[in-house]
Amino acid sequence: MASGKVTFRQERCKGCNLCVSVCPAKIIFLDEDNTNIKGYHPATVTEMDKCIGCANCARICPDSIITVERN
Amino acid sequence: MAIVYQKSKGLTDVEFHYCPGCTHGIVHKLVAETLEELNILDNAVGVAPVGCSVFAYNYFNCDMQGAAHGRAPAVATGIKRVLPEHVVFTYQGDGDLAAIGTAEIVHAAMRGEKFTTIFINNAIYGMTGGQMAPTTLVGQRATTAPLGREREHYGSPIRMSEMLATIDGAAYIERVTVTTPANIIKAKRAIKKAFQLQIEGKGFTMIEVLSTCPTNWGLTPVEALEWVKEKMGPFFPLGVFRDITAEEAK
Protein backbone atom coordinates (compact mmCIF):
# COMPACT_ATOMS: atom_id res chain seq x y z
CA MET A 1 0.00 0.00 0.00
CA ALA A 2 1.28 3.42 -0.95
CA SER A 3 2.15 5.70 1.92
CA GLY A 4 1.16 9.31 1.98
CA LYS A 5 1.55 12.50 3.91
CA VAL A 6 -0.94 15.31 4.29
CA THR A 7 -0.25 18.83 5.47
CA PHE A 8 -2.93 21.28 6.53
CA ARG A 9 -2.69 25.04 6.37
CA GLN A 10 -4.41 25.08 9.73
CA GLU A 11 -4.76 28.84 10.12
CA ARG A 12 -7.17 28.74 7.16
CA CYS A 13 -9.22 25.71 8.28
CA LYS A 14 -12.91 26.35 8.99
CA GLY A 15 -13.50 23.02 10.73
CA CYS A 16 -16.20 21.95 8.28
CA ASN A 17 -15.46 18.25 8.75
CA LEU A 18 -15.73 17.34 5.04
CA CYS A 19 -12.16 15.95 4.94
CA VAL A 20 -12.88 13.90 8.05
CA SER A 21 -15.97 12.42 6.39
CA VAL A 22 -14.18 11.18 3.25
CA CYS A 23 -10.92 9.83 4.73
CA PRO A 24 -10.89 6.05 4.06
CA ALA A 25 -8.19 5.53 6.71
CA LYS A 26 -10.26 7.52 9.24
CA ILE A 27 -7.18 9.31 10.57
CA ILE A 28 -8.27 12.95 10.16
CA PHE A 29 -9.95 14.65 13.11
CA LEU A 30 -10.69 18.16 14.30
CA ASP A 31 -8.13 19.03 16.95
CA GLU A 32 -10.20 20.20 19.92
CA ASP A 33 -7.05 21.06 21.85
CA ASN A 34 -6.30 23.78 19.32
CA THR A 35 -8.23 26.81 18.08
CA ASN A 36 -7.03 28.76 15.08
CA ILE A 37 -7.21 32.51 14.60
CA LYS A 38 -10.65 32.16 12.97
CA GLY A 39 -11.97 30.39 16.05
CA TYR A 40 -12.25 26.89 14.58
CA HIS A 41 -10.73 23.60 15.67
CA PRO A 42 -8.49 22.80 12.68
CA ALA A 43 -8.29 19.43 10.95
CA THR A 44 -5.22 17.38 11.77
CA VAL A 45 -3.66 13.91 11.56
CA THR A 46 -1.51 12.24 14.20
CA GLU A 47 -1.27 8.69 12.77
CA MET A 48 0.42 9.81 9.56
CA ASP A 49 1.85 6.32 8.96
CA LYS A 50 -1.70 5.15 8.15
CA CYS A 51 -2.18 7.74 5.38
CA ILE A 52 -2.45 6.15 1.92
CA GLY A 53 -2.13 9.43 0.01
CA CYS A 54 -5.48 9.05 -1.78
CA ALA A 55 -6.06 12.85 -1.74
CA ASN A 56 -9.81 12.48 -1.03
CA CYS A 57 -9.45 15.03 1.78
CA ALA A 58 -7.70 17.58 -0.42
CA ARG A 59 -10.14 17.08 -3.27
CA ILE A 60 -13.19 17.84 -1.11
CA CYS A 61 -11.61 20.64 0.99
CA PRO A 62 -13.56 23.78 0.02
CA ASP A 63 -10.76 26.05 1.15
CA SER A 64 -7.88 24.25 -0.60
CA ILE A 65 -5.80 24.09 2.57
CA ILE A 66 -4.59 20.49 2.15
CA THR A 67 -1.47 19.34 0.32
CA VAL A 68 -0.97 15.61 -0.27
CA GLU A 69 2.28 13.80 -0.98
CA ARG A 70 2.69 10.13 -1.86
CA ASN A 71 5.51 7.64 -2.28
CA MET B 1 7.64 11.92 -1.73
CA ALA B 2 5.95 13.58 -4.68
CA ILE B 3 3.13 16.08 -4.35
CA VAL B 4 -0.08 14.54 -5.68
CA TYR B 5 -2.51 17.31 -4.75
CA GLN B 6 -2.06 20.96 -3.84
CA LYS B 7 -3.87 24.26 -4.20
CA SER B 8 -4.32 25.19 -7.85
CA LYS B 9 -2.30 28.00 -9.39
CA GLY B 10 -5.61 29.09 -10.88
CA LEU B 11 -6.61 30.47 -7.47
CA THR B 12 -5.12 33.53 -5.82
CA ASP B 13 -3.94 33.36 -2.22
CA VAL B 14 -6.97 35.33 -1.03
CA GLU B 15 -9.00 33.45 1.62
CA PHE B 16 -12.52 32.49 0.59
CA HIS B 17 -15.21 34.32 2.53
CA TYR B 18 -17.61 31.37 2.17
CA CYS B 19 -19.20 29.65 5.17
CA PRO B 20 -17.52 26.48 6.48
CA GLY B 21 -18.21 23.52 4.18
CA CYS B 22 -19.78 25.59 1.40
CA THR B 23 -19.26 23.81 -1.92
CA HIS B 24 -18.56 27.08 -3.75
CA GLY B 25 -14.96 26.52 -2.70
CA ILE B 26 -14.88 23.06 -4.29
CA VAL B 27 -16.33 24.32 -7.57
CA HIS B 28 -13.96 27.31 -7.59
CA LYS B 29 -10.98 25.01 -7.46
CA LEU B 30 -12.36 22.71 -10.18
CA VAL B 31 -12.64 25.72 -12.50
CA ALA B 32 -9.18 26.92 -11.44
CA GLU B 33 -7.62 23.49 -12.00
CA THR B 34 -9.25 23.31 -15.43
CA LEU B 35 -7.88 26.72 -16.44
CA GLU B 36 -4.46 25.65 -15.19
CA GLU B 37 -4.50 22.27 -16.96
CA LEU B 38 -5.68 23.76 -20.25
CA ASN B 39 -2.92 26.36 -19.86
CA ILE B 40 -5.34 29.24 -20.40
CA LEU B 41 -4.91 31.23 -17.17
CA ASP B 42 -3.36 34.10 -19.11
CA ASN B 43 -6.04 33.89 -21.75
CA ALA B 44 -9.19 33.52 -19.65
CA VAL B 45 -11.75 36.11 -18.58
CA GLY B 46 -14.28 35.24 -15.90
CA VAL B 47 -17.46 37.14 -15.13
CA ALA B 48 -18.53 37.21 -11.48
CA PRO B 49 -22.22 37.37 -10.53
CA VAL B 50 -24.18 38.90 -7.71
CA GLY B 51 -24.84 36.48 -4.88
CA CYS B 52 -22.58 34.62 -2.48
CA SER B 53 -19.94 34.28 -5.20
CA VAL B 54 -19.90 38.03 -5.89
CA PHE B 55 -16.26 38.18 -4.79
CA ALA B 56 -15.20 35.44 -7.24
CA TYR B 57 -13.09 38.07 -8.98
CA ASN B 58 -10.78 38.10 -5.96
CA TYR B 59 -10.28 34.35 -6.04
CA PHE B 60 -9.59 33.35 -9.65
CA ASN B 61 -6.07 33.98 -10.88
CA CYS B 62 -7.17 35.25 -14.29
CA ASP B 63 -8.80 38.39 -15.63
CA MET B 64 -12.21 38.92 -14.07
CA GLN B 65 -15.14 41.25 -14.53
CA GLY B 66 -18.09 41.95 -12.25
CA ALA B 67 -21.60 42.13 -13.70
CA ALA B 68 -24.95 43.54 -12.62
CA HIS B 69 -27.29 40.98 -11.03
CA GLY B 70 -28.14 38.28 -13.57
CA ARG B 71 -26.38 40.04 -16.42
CA ALA B 72 -23.17 38.00 -16.45
CA PRO B 73 -24.16 36.26 -19.73
CA ALA B 74 -24.69 39.64 -21.40
CA VAL B 75 -21.33 40.92 -20.17
CA ALA B 76 -19.65 37.66 -21.21
CA THR B 77 -21.24 38.00 -24.64
CA GLY B 78 -19.62 41.41 -25.07
CA ILE B 79 -16.22 40.23 -23.85
CA LYS B 80 -16.22 37.12 -26.04
CA ARG B 81 -17.28 39.03 -29.15
CA VAL B 82 -14.56 41.65 -28.67
CA LEU B 83 -11.93 39.11 -27.61
CA PRO B 84 -12.89 35.95 -29.52
CA GLU B 85 -9.51 34.29 -28.91
CA HIS B 86 -10.01 34.48 -25.14
CA VAL B 87 -11.72 31.82 -23.07
CA VAL B 88 -14.69 33.42 -21.30
CA PHE B 89 -16.77 32.01 -18.48
CA THR B 90 -19.52 33.15 -16.14
CA TYR B 91 -19.92 31.82 -12.60
CA GLN B 92 -23.49 32.22 -11.41
CA GLY B 93 -25.78 31.02 -8.65
CA ASP B 94 -29.44 30.11 -8.94
CA GLY B 95 -30.69 33.53 -7.83
CA ASP B 96 -28.53 35.16 -10.48
CA LEU B 97 -29.07 32.71 -13.33
CA ALA B 98 -32.50 31.17 -12.70
CA ALA B 99 -34.32 34.22 -11.30
CA ILE B 100 -33.29 37.76 -12.16
CA GLY B 101 -31.03 36.68 -15.04
CA THR B 102 -33.19 34.05 -16.73
CA ALA B 103 -33.68 36.13 -19.87
CA GLU B 104 -29.94 36.72 -20.28
CA ILE B 105 -28.95 33.08 -19.99
CA VAL B 106 -31.73 31.85 -22.29
CA HIS B 107 -30.90 34.36 -25.00
CA ALA B 108 -27.14 33.85 -24.68
CA ALA B 109 -27.78 30.14 -25.26
CA MET B 110 -30.15 30.91 -28.13
CA ARG B 111 -27.53 33.04 -29.85
CA GLY B 112 -25.02 30.25 -29.32
CA GLU B 113 -22.61 32.57 -27.55
CA LYS B 114 -19.30 30.79 -27.25
CA PHE B 115 -18.65 31.06 -23.53
CA THR B 116 -18.99 28.64 -20.62
CA THR B 117 -21.34 29.09 -17.69
CA ILE B 118 -20.79 27.44 -14.31
CA PHE B 119 -24.21 27.35 -12.66
CA ILE B 120 -24.36 26.75 -8.90
CA ASN B 121 -27.73 25.34 -7.86
CA ASN B 122 -28.22 25.10 -4.10
CA ALA B 123 -32.00 25.51 -4.06
CA ILE B 124 -31.99 28.69 -1.98
CA TYR B 125 -30.88 32.32 -1.92
CA GLY B 126 -27.72 32.17 0.17
CA MET B 127 -26.33 35.67 0.43
CA THR B 128 -29.59 37.42 1.27
CA GLY B 129 -30.46 35.00 4.06
CA GLY B 130 -32.19 31.87 2.84
CA GLN B 131 -35.19 33.09 0.88
CA MET B 132 -37.05 30.80 -1.53
CA ALA B 133 -35.40 30.53 -4.95
CA PRO B 134 -36.94 29.32 -8.24
CA THR B 135 -34.96 26.14 -7.56
CA THR B 136 -36.28 25.61 -4.02
CA LEU B 137 -37.85 22.16 -3.75
CA VAL B 138 -41.54 21.68 -3.01
CA GLY B 139 -41.80 21.27 0.76
CA GLN B 140 -38.39 22.82 1.41
CA ARG B 141 -38.42 25.49 4.09
CA ALA B 142 -37.06 28.96 3.39
CA THR B 143 -37.40 32.26 5.24
CA THR B 144 -40.08 33.32 2.75
CA ALA B 145 -41.72 29.88 2.85
CA PRO B 146 -41.59 29.03 6.56
CA LEU B 147 -43.95 26.08 6.14
CA GLY B 148 -42.16 24.85 3.05
CA ARG B 149 -42.67 25.69 -0.64
CA GLU B 150 -46.25 25.02 -1.67
CA ARG B 151 -46.84 23.98 -5.26
CA GLU B 152 -50.28 25.68 -5.46
CA HIS B 153 -48.82 29.05 -4.59
CA TYR B 154 -45.29 28.99 -5.94
CA GLY B 155 -45.23 26.26 -8.55
CA SER B 156 -42.63 23.59 -8.96
CA PRO B 157 -38.88 24.34 -9.20
CA ILE B 158 -37.32 25.22 -12.54
CA ARG B 159 -34.90 22.79 -14.18
CA MET B 160 -32.51 25.07 -16.05
CA SER B 161 -30.32 22.39 -17.63
CA GLU B 162 -33.28 20.57 -19.17
CA MET B 163 -34.74 23.87 -20.38
CA LEU B 164 -31.53 25.16 -21.96
CA ALA B 165 -30.87 21.77 -23.55
CA THR B 166 -33.86 22.39 -25.84
CA ILE B 167 -32.06 25.36 -27.40
CA ASP B 168 -30.16 24.74 -30.64
CA GLY B 169 -27.38 27.21 -29.78
CA ALA B 170 -26.38 25.17 -26.74
CA ALA B 171 -23.44 22.86 -27.44
CA TYR B 172 -23.02 21.13 -24.12
CA ILE B 173 -25.21 21.04 -20.99
CA GLU B 174 -24.50 18.74 -18.07
CA ARG B 175 -25.62 18.55 -14.45
CA VAL B 176 -23.07 17.30 -11.93
CA THR B 177 -22.56 17.43 -8.18
CA VAL B 178 -19.64 17.56 -5.74
CA THR B 179 -20.95 15.40 -2.89
CA THR B 180 -18.16 12.78 -2.96
CA PRO B 181 -14.56 12.67 -4.20
CA ALA B 182 -15.75 10.53 -7.15
CA ASN B 183 -18.44 13.06 -8.05
CA ILE B 184 -15.88 15.86 -7.75
CA ILE B 185 -13.68 14.10 -10.34
CA LYS B 186 -16.71 13.70 -12.65
CA ALA B 187 -17.64 17.35 -12.18
CA LYS B 188 -14.15 18.42 -13.13
CA ARG B 189 -14.27 16.26 -16.26
CA ALA B 190 -17.53 17.97 -17.25
CA ILE B 191 -16.14 21.46 -16.65
CA LYS B 192 -13.05 20.64 -18.67
CA LYS B 193 -15.14 19.32 -21.54
CA ALA B 194 -17.23 22.48 -21.58
CA PHE B 195 -14.14 24.69 -21.76
CA GLN B 196 -12.64 22.51 -24.50
CA LEU B 197 -15.81 22.77 -26.59
CA GLN B 198 -15.79 26.52 -26.11
CA ILE B 199 -12.19 26.64 -27.37
CA GLU B 200 -13.30 24.60 -30.39
CA GLY B 201 -16.01 27.20 -31.02
CA LYS B 202 -18.92 24.77 -30.73
CA GLY B 203 -21.36 27.14 -29.01
CA PHE B 204 -22.80 27.85 -25.59
CA THR B 205 -21.79 25.47 -22.81
CA MET B 206 -23.12 25.19 -19.26
CA ILE B 207 -22.32 22.95 -16.32
CA GLU B 208 -24.90 22.98 -13.51
CA VAL B 209 -23.48 21.93 -10.14
CA LEU B 210 -25.82 20.74 -7.37
CA SER B 211 -24.34 22.47 -4.36
CA THR B 212 -24.96 22.99 -0.69
CA CYS B 213 -25.91 25.85 1.60
CA PRO B 214 -25.36 24.36 5.07
CA THR B 215 -25.97 27.71 6.80
CA ASN B 216 -29.38 28.42 5.30
CA TRP B 217 -30.46 24.78 5.17
CA GLY B 218 -29.72 24.53 8.90
CA LEU B 219 -27.54 21.45 8.44
CA THR B 220 -23.91 20.58 9.09
CA PRO B 221 -21.71 20.56 5.96
CA VAL B 222 -21.61 16.74 5.97
CA GLU B 223 -25.40 16.49 6.43
CA ALA B 224 -25.83 19.01 3.61
CA LEU B 225 -23.99 16.73 1.18
CA GLU B 226 -26.41 13.93 2.12
CA TRP B 227 -29.33 16.31 1.59
CA VAL B 228 -28.18 17.00 -1.96
CA LYS B 229 -28.10 13.26 -2.67
CA GLU B 230 -31.42 12.45 -0.99
CA LYS B 231 -33.58 15.49 -1.74
CA MET B 232 -32.15 17.34 -4.71
CA GLY B 233 -30.96 14.28 -6.63
CA PRO B 234 -34.42 12.87 -7.42
CA PHE B 235 -35.73 16.22 -8.73
CA PHE B 236 -32.54 17.38 -10.43
CA PRO B 237 -31.11 14.21 -12.05
CA LEU B 238 -27.43 14.21 -12.93
CA GLY B 239 -26.37 13.68 -16.52
CA VAL B 240 -25.63 15.14 -19.92
CA PHE B 241 -28.68 16.92 -21.36
CA ARG B 242 -27.13 18.16 -24.55
CA ASP B 243 -23.90 17.26 -26.34
CA ILE B 244 -23.65 18.28 -29.97
CA THR B 245 -20.37 16.42 -30.37
CA ALA B 246 -22.22 13.16 -29.63
CA GLU B 247 -24.94 14.14 -32.09
CA GLU B 248 -22.34 15.03 -34.75
CA ALA B 249 -20.66 11.66 -34.26
CA LYS B 250 -23.90 9.80 -35.11
pLDDT tens sequence across B8-34: 999 999 999 999 999 999 999 999 999
Q: Are B117 and B174 in contact (CB under 8 A)?
A: no
Q: Which CATH architecture has domain B24-249?
A: 3-Layer(aba) Sandwich (3.40)
pLDDT tens sequence across A47-57: 999 999 999 99
pLDDT tens sequence across B125-163: 999 999 999 999 999 999 999 999 999 999 999 999 999
Q: Looking at the 3D structure of chain A, how many domains does it have?
A: 1
Task: Measure A50 CA to nearest chain B CA, in Å.
Answer: 15
* SS3 sequence of B204-225: EEEEEEECCCHHHHCCCHHHHH
Q: Is B21 on the interface with A (CB under 8 A)?
A: yes
Q: Is B2 exposed, middle or buried (0-12, 13-18, 19+ CB in 10 A)?
A: exposed
User: Identity (one letter) of the amino acid at B234?
Assistant: P
Q: For the complex shown, is ipTM > 0.90?
A: yes
How far is Cα B54 from Cα B65, in angstroms, rounded to an integer? 10
- B residues 53-112 lying closer than 8 A (beta carbon) to A: none
- Tell me which of A71 and B74 has the higher pLDDT: B74
The domain containing residue A41 runs over which residues? 4-70
> Which residues of chain A fall below pLDDT 70?
1
* Sign of the four-CA dihedral B65, B66, B67, B70: positive
Task: Measure A65 CA to nearest chain B CA, in Å.
Answer: 7
Count interface pairs A-B at CB distance under 8 A: 81
pLDDT tens sequence across B95-119: 999 999 999 999 999 999 999 999 9
Partner-chain contact A62 B24, CB within 8 Å: yes
Q: Is A36 on the interface with B (CB under 8 A)?
A: no
Domain residue ranges of chain B, discontinuous segments joined by +: 24-249
**Which chain A residues are closer than 8 Å to B217 by Cβ?**
none
Partner-chain contact A60 B22, CB within 8 Å: no
CATH of the domain at A63: 3.30.70.20
Q: Is A5 on the interface with B (CB under 8 A)?
A: yes
Nearest CA in chain B to A20: B222
